[in-house]
A and B are shown apart, each in its own frame.
Chain A
Amino acid sequence: MKLDEDVIHIRKVLSGDTNAFRYFVRTYQEMGYSIAVSILKHESDAKDVVQNAFIRAYKCLHTFKRDAKFSTWFYRIVVNEALKHLRRDKKNKEITNFKGDTAKNTVVFNEMVAHFDHNDDKAKIDRVLRLMKPKEALVLKLHYLHEAPIVEIEKITGFTKSNVKVLLHRARKSFQALFIQT
């Protein structure tokens, strides 16, 4: 089980085995990157942020409380680093606001998904997520890709429960609208 493996590797790293930290990089780099890129919308920035997050996690591993999952703790570091980076560097962020009737969008979206061609539309999903607002894209990814419940999203992002719910609601609406428009 992943949780047990996490604990074993945490013990190894804390006892001085730096190479044991490779396990965490291998296991969590992709989701960490996915989270960072949803906030920053920029590949190389996201990669830098995830690397910094790993180094920070290594340095602060002794402060990690075992009652939480390592993934939750690490993704929180990624989110904090990414938001810090976003505040520092507000360059060229292409974010689109969706237009039109949201009720109508839902009907059209559901029809489109029925004829969804998986192979052709992989790039489309990526485009839609890039056009979404950072926090909405983040919450959407955490909920649907990471399968995180609201409580875990609260812990990862530091947002309040009601804030997460509002963001998730808006994220669904904008995802549908942007999926139709792009």
Chain B
Amino acid sequence: MKDETGSYESRIRTIALLEGQEEERKRLARELHDGVGQLLTGIRLQLDCLHNAAFNESQLESYQVLKELVLETIETVRQVSFDLMPGVLTDFGLPAALRLFSEKATKVSGVEVIFSSQGNLFQWPENLEIHLYRIVQEAVNNSLKYAKAKKIEVILTNNGGAVNLRITDDGTGFDLKEVQKKKSVHSGLNNMKLRAELIGGSFEISSVKKKGTTVSVQLNT
């Protein structure tokens, strides 16, 4: 079996690498959120104990700055942990994670990212959910980065076991052949395709210049 993603052996290697990477991301995300995050909380609480201390002016200023820095660090840890692997994906499943991802993406980019879903979506194995989540992450980030989209829709449906995931934007669109030459975009597209195939799904991407791009994954569960 040979295709654009390389030989069969190299594909197996890629799969193992991807799955190992996800395991590691999950571990790191938890460690950051529950480990470092709690230590920071401890610092925050101890700092608060100095609330009524008799500081002079410059000490008081340091104290205020310190407090703000700790809060900022807690927020950063939350964000980095979320980017690595959202806890909500493991704890509440794919739809919850996609909704949160869309909300955050909207907030950060100012582009409207809308998530909707239909059908029963809660009985999937974790690795399937992770791959679908990463595909959405990659597709939405591409749209935000290159497509100048105003609106991105993420739609997840399950119709009696036929699962369809679609990410559509109204951006500039592109010529697939041209894009294949750009290494970074090319590898992103291949990654999505590989992930889709890994969970036994089919991957499609269609793009029309000045109209927008649709990425879709279909699989039977």
Same complex: no
